[in-house]
Amino acid sequence: MLDAMAHRTRITFCGQTRPGDVRLAGELGIDALGFIFVPGSRRALDPAQAESLRAAVPPLAQVVALFMDPEEALVRAAIRALRPTLLQFHGREEAAFCERFGLPYVKTLAMGEGVAAAESLAKRYPSVDAFLLDGHKAGEQGGQGARFDWSDLPALPKPWLLAGGLTPDNVFEAVRQSRPFGVDVSSGIESAPGLKDGERMVRFVEEVRRADGFIADPPVR
């Protein structure tokens, strides 16, 4: 039984906008919660909204502040309000900018540009703590449900999370096939942009854990 639990895929629920969704994520044992500070995003928060949501975050959960080509002032305001444990950058931010805030960070690689481009870009971020592979193209926002080929993955020097088009219906196969450090989901557990669906949240977690069990103890053929 212990062997069957040896593999554990981390889970991030991104695009949080409501305290009830944050609390349910905590009850489900989610590893990280993502809060978006990208003007124009349908899930965007201002610092005041983020501060009110922060109170609902359960103990020990990672708090992720997500940006895309932000001004430094926005990042600092978000840090003051949200008190994140991790920053996530989705744009063309250089490593020096990502490092400026003294917090661990994740850098998104746009898999819509292909594997070679992702591997080349990754080399420019030696200080990164993890990468996130999303299905969109460079310059596009995440959270659009864009998938990519899970069998064609870049070779990366740091842990990576899988994102892009994940849902309760396909995350088992995604985890089984790609074996990521973690998965990141937003639109795949929503009833509308920014509105998480409790049933989908529960099913998503169940399917990730089912995949973990399969990886740790595959069926004998």
CATH number at residue 196: 3.20.20.70
179 in any annotated domain: yes
Assigned token pair, 162 = 């899988």
> Structurally, how many domains does the chain consist of?
1
40 in any annotated domain: yes
131 in any annotated domain: yes
Instruction: Determine which helix (DSSP H) or strand (DSSP E) holds 133, and give its type and residue range.
Output: strand 130-134
- pLDDT tens track for 110-164: 998 899 999 999 999 999 999 999 987 776 666 566 678 898 999 999 999 999 9
Q: 107: helix, coil or strand?
A: strand
119 in any annotated domain: yes
Query: How far apart, in Å, are the Cα atoms of 26 and each of 1, 22, 31, 62, 147?
Result: 25, 6, 8, 11, 27
Q: How far apart are CA 145 and CA 148, in angstroms?
A: 10
pLDDT at site 216: 84
Give the relative orientation of helices 19-27 and 198-216 as an angle to the nearest 10 degrees: 30
Q: How far apart are CA 134 and CA 186, in angstroms?
A: 12
Which pTM was predicted? 0.92
Domain that holds residue 85: 3-216
- pLDDT tens track for 163-181: 999 999 999 999 999 999 9
Q: Do 174 and 137 contact (CB within 8 A), yes or no? A: no
What DSSP state is assigned to residue 137?
P
221 in any annotated domain: no
pLDDT at site 28: 97
208 in any annotated domain: yes
Please state the φ and ψ torsions of residue 220, each to the nearest 5 degrees.
-80, 130
Q: 1: helix, coil or strand?
A: coil
Assigned token pair, 44 = 């965007």
